[in-house]
Structure 1
């Protein structure tokens, strides 16, 4: 997400933190001032995105409140709300691919929707299962969906956690301030120094007539590059979230020490994996309890994660690849490895195997069919 690397955006965020620190004696400073900041930031960033987001959030708040109190038709309303939100994402994806045309379409809408829709669906789940006790004020609902540090690239916030944070007073002290600043600096170092330099190297090597060793290097190099890219943004978001008085969940939990793909997806972009597991796997696994059903659900979830990243055959194949491997892990009872119950050599051997499987398909994240095919063709050039 590029706007958090913009000096004006960074200055605005730091300015907001200073305002919160200066108004800490006002019990509602965190809720009201963050709302004003979120709306002003979006308005200045893109008036089209601001208008789109305002309409989208208000419509979903109406549906959310109705679902909290509805005595009848709750399941139908819940399902309809989910389908409509997913349909909005699909429609914008197709418009962005120029499969359909509409004069009002702007790519900026998808930019603001891709992560927001996941949070909207989580709010609907909360309303459906908790009912009227789960109703949150409009102010907090808007802050949850439009919270600038996590607006377009996560980590994905859970509705119940964010609302609980909103009820707490702003209590950021010296230790929290220091930790938040350090986390932001770490993220900026990853994004501005490491990713920028590694991208230059990647592009330079890619311009060669690739041999097998070039392709292998590029796959490993790109894997490291996207780790620093994704985790760097997460560091910035977590740091600013802490300074604004909100706890942002960790997105990367030592993914390179994951002995299975199942465990890897709990540690790499962890909040995305958690979202799909909580909203799809946990729901359907209650009705389909067999190991085969769990394996099939793994394939479905990974395909959905692939298509969530982009509507292309590359991401579809990427999802099938990971899903089938995770299904095999489930069927063969290899989904979990407890480090305390196995030998160190075996544990690290499994970690290496997992990383090799991930590296084999990681280049798909480049989003470029030409790049992916070029690198894979290089593997055949001895």
Structure 2
């Protein structure tokens, strides 16, 4: 089930809201838990048991670690066992096929590759479960005694299948004691509708453009660049839209998730880009891998090795394929160059040049990320970098521009913090001119109209995937 579907919008969410707010406060966590499990089990019910089994092990491990008191050998053994199980499940479901294919290719063997279906969102909920056990071991949170609350933390439906990766410490107090205010509900509804608009109006249309171009067997330079820009906009609006909707839904039920995107395409360096893109994943790797490996401590050679491990892991986290491995190593090279050689040079450049350098680096990275094979990636990059233009290609280019230009413009404009500035300025102006209550009414009338437009796009489109569901 996806947020931008008629089943979710007109059946699941209304039923949940009615049941949740009619229930007494002591039962609301159980209502959320049951609906979250139903949400996850909608497509493939058997994988609910995989998630519940993983959470059960982590719940018991955290409870035992809490009773051990301190970082003694018993606690370390329990952490190691819990992490081994979590990572073992992740490797089995996500990487078995990739590992066996690699072995077959490297050693010319004929090992039969099993057809293993990967549970949706396993990368996300596994990282959440692992962070809970590690934080209990570190003494940053207390072990939760109620197993239903631990399961709720991991399975909470807004962030379950595509993030953001929520730390237990972020919502521990709200799991046990929270109040849903009118202000929270209103802000959550606004955030949800805006996220849905980003997804249905911009991301889906940019996805249709990118898919059309990446399927072409003959590429000219203008068409290749158009497709790369289309995918660059698609993946941002697709993933940030899901995060917006998740944050908005969480707010409706009294949970305050942290931001996952802060306009990454306005960055002035690759380093800044990764401080703004998929923040919950970047900080997860920083706190649970980069710093434990030594971080910035030690020699520059050790720093390089640590960066290499983190970005190799980041690439593998995104997918079991060589293009994802190379994508991670691509960013390792760029970030290492910035960290050790380019920082001073970049700071002296005009903002426009820094921005152009960053966007070009990100766009080339997304081509590697999107390509189905390394050969296809090389072909696409060749079309972008070696000028090739013919009459048919230009006709094709203008056909795509004519079809998608409104969504390209919307994507470029709203990848910048335009909406926030417009909302603040117009909101302040209207509050002065017509009063707070009328201004608020006008805002929600606009949001209602935007919701109606989203529904029109939804019912008239058959293209509605979420990219990060497969990670």
TM over 0.5: yes
Offset of 1:253 from its aligned partner? 0.7
After superposition, where does 1:30-49 map in structure 2 within 5 Å? 30-49=28-47
1:107 paired residue number: 117
> What SS does the aligned partner of 2:166 have?
coil
- Alpha-carbon distance change, 329 to 5 in structure 1, aligned in 2, over 3 angstroms: same
Offset of 1:136 from its aligned partner? 4.6
Q: Provide the C-alpha distance between the structure 1 equivalents of 2:54 and 2:371, rounded to a whole number of angstroms.
A: 28
Q: Provide the C-alpha distance between the structure 2 equivalents of 1:130 and 1:116, rounded to a whole number of angstroms.
A: 21
Tell me, which stretches of 5 or more residues in structure 2 are unaligned? Answer: 101-110, 389-471
Q: Provide the C-alpha distance between the structure 2 equivalents of 1:158 and 1:94, rounded to a whole number of angstroms.
A: 25
Offset of 1:102 from its aligned partner? 8.9
Q: Provide the C-alpha distance between the structure 2 equivalents of 1:96 and 1:18, rounded to a whole number of angstroms.
A: 43
Q: Is residue 377 of structure 2 the alignment partner of residue 372 of structure 1?
A: yes
Offset of 1:117 from its aligned partner? 0.8
Normalized against structure 1, the TM-score is what?
A: 0.88
Contact 1:68 1:132 in 2 (8 A): no
Q: Provide the C-alpha distance between the structure 1 equivalents of 2:256 and 2:238, rounded to a whole number of angstroms.
A: 21
Q: Is residue 350 of structure 2 the alignment partner of residue 346 of structure 1?
A: yes
After superposition, where does 1:312-323 map in structure 2 within 5 Å? 312-323=321-332
Aligned residue pairs, count: 371
Offset of 1:249 from its aligned partner? 1.6
Contact 1:302 1:319 in 2 (8 A): yes
Q: Provide the C-alpha distance between the structure 2 equivalents of 1:180 and 1:287, rounded to a whole number of angstroms.
A: 38
Contact 2:54 2:86 in 1 (8 A): no
2:136 to 113, 127, 141: 127
Offset of 1:287 from its aligned partner? 8.7
Offset of 1:55 from its aligned partner? 1.8
Tell me, which stretches of 5 or more residues in structure 1 are unaligned? Answer: none
Q: Provide the C-alpha distance between the structure 2 equivalents of 1:223 and 1:148, rounded to a whole number of angstroms.
A: 27
Offset of 1:377 from its aligned partner? 3.4
Contact 2:94 2:118 in 1 (8 A): no
* Structure 1, 164-173 or 372-381: larger mean CA deviation: 372-381
Q: Is residue 193 of structure 2 the alignment partner of residue 188 of structure 1?
A: no
1:227 paired residue number: 236
Offset of 1:98 from its aligned partner? 8.9
Q: Provide the C-alpha distance between the structure 1 equivalents of 2:121 and 2:341, rounded to a whole number of angstroms.
A: 40
Contact 1:198 1:225 in 2 (8 A): yes
Offset of 1:200 from its aligned partner? 2.3
Offset of 1:12 from its aligned partner? 1.2
1:324 to 311, 328, 333: 333
2:91 paired residue number: 90
1:362 paired residue number: 366
Q: Provide the C-alpha distance between the structure 1 equivalents of 2:188 and 2:350, rounded to a whole number of angstroms.
A: 37
1:200 paired residue number: 208
> What SS does the aligned partner of 2:287 have?
helix
Contact 2:59 2:147 in 1 (8 A): yes
Q: Provide the C-alpha distance between the structure 1 equivalents of 2:19 and 2:131, rounded to a whole number of angstroms.
A: 30
Q: Is residue 78 of structure 2 the alignment partner of residue 77 of structure 1?
A: yes
Q: Is residue 187 of structure 2 the alignment partner of residue 179 of structure 1?
A: yes
Normalized against structure 2, the TM-score is what?
A: 0.72
* Structure 1, 13-22 or 214-223: larger mean CA deviation: 13-22
2:291 to 282, 285, 288: 282
Q: What whole-Å deviation, never above 9, does each CA across 1:339-360 have from its counterpart, x for those lacking one?
A: xxx78x7334323211211111
1:28 to 20, 26, 29: 26
Q: What whole-Å deviation, never above 9, does each CA across 1:252-288 have from its counterpart, x for those lacking one?
A: 1121222222221111011111110111112222694
Q: Tell me which structure has the larger Cα radius of gyration.
A: 2
Contact 2:191 2:245 in 1 (8 A): yes
- Alpha-carbon distance change, 142 to 81 in structure 1, aligned in 2, over 3 angstroms: same
Q: Provide the C-alpha distance between the structure 2 equivalents of 1:235 and 1:131, rounded to a whole number of angstroms.
A: 27
CA-based RMSD of the aligned residues comes to 2.7
Q: Is residue 71 of structure 2 the alignment partner of residue 62 of structure 1?
A: no
- Alpha-carbon distance change, 12 to 347 in structure 1, aligned in 2, over 3 angstroms: same
After superposition, where does 1:164-175 map in structure 2 within 5 Å? 164-173=173-182, 175=183
> What SS does the aligned partner of 2:317 have?
helix
- Alpha-carbon distance change, 95 to 133 in structure 1, aligned in 2, over 3 angstroms: closer
Contact 2:209 2:227 in 1 (8 A): no
2:453 paired residue number: none
After superposition, where does 1:236-255 map in structure 2 within 5 Å? 236-255=245-264
Q: Provide the C-alpha distance between the structure 2 equivalents of 1:204 and 1:270, rounded to a whole number of angstroms.
A: 30
Q: Is residue 314 of structure 2 the alignment partner of residue 305 of structure 1?
A: yes
1:273 paired residue number: 282
- Alpha-carbon distance change, 295 to 333 in structure 1, aligned in 2, over 3 angstroms: farther
